[in-house]
Copies of this chain bind each other. A is one copy, B any other.
Amino acid sequence: MSTPFHLTHTREVAFGDCDPAGIVYTGKIVDFALEAIDAFWRGRLNGTGWFQMNVDLGIGTPFVHLELDFTGPITPRAPLETRVRFARMGDSSVTFEVEGVQQGRACFAGRFVCVFVEKATMRKISVPDWVAGHVKGLVQAGQ
């Protein structure tokens, strides 16, 4: 399939995101990826991102794993496009694949795994049905 990454999050890159090397600081790149995943949830779940899950629904989705390969520097000279897709769903976990691109040039690619928990107790719960429905369809479609 030619465009497996369904949602793309575009953001400006700012001077303050860069370090003395003149490129975006590694820590900021992780922030950008996280921001794109949050936007992906909102886009997939009718506006329900981490804030709504946490504050309105009492659900947390802490990450248990993340990994990133950095293949090129990110510069404020162009916007950053971060593509996100669901890669896998377990009983209580969801795996995202992310890919950052500037003007067609790959900057980073990686994988983030979160688990669903009850916010009050931090105990694992199954992926809620109203989420799982969305995810399942998209994992099967490779999106």
Q: Which residues of A are in contact with B by a Cβ distance under 8 Å? A: 12, 14-16, 18-23, 25-27, 30-31, 34-35, 38-39, 49-52, 54-55, 60, 62-71, 73, 75-77, 119, 122
With both chains docked as a complex, state the minimum distance between the C-beta of A111 and any C-beta of chain B, in angstroms: 9
Oligomeric state, in number of copies? 4
Determine the distance from Cα of A71 to Cα of B115 in the docked complex, in whole angstroms: 12
* Given known A-B contacts A30-B27, A51-B76, A51-B77, A19 and B21 have beta carbons under 8 A apart: no
Contact among B23, B34, B51, B122 for A26, CB-based, below 8 A: B34
Closest CB in chain B relative to A117 CB, distance in Å: 9
Known: A27-B27, A34-B27. A20 touches B64 (CB 8 A): no
- Chain B: which residue is nearest A61 at the CB level? B21
Chain B residues closer than 8 Å to A50, beta-carbon distance: 14-16, 19
Of the candidates B20, B35, B52, B75, the one whose C-beta lies within 8 Å of that of A19 is B20
- Can you list 24 pairs linking A and B with CB atoms under 8 Å apart? A12-B35, A14-B49, A15-B19, A15-B20, A15-B49, A16-B27, A16-B35, A20-B51, A20-B54, A20-B55, A21-B54, A21-B62, A26-B30, A27-B27, A49-B76, A51-B75, A52-B77, A63-B70, A64-B71, A65-B68, A66-B66, A66-B67, A67-B67, A67-B68
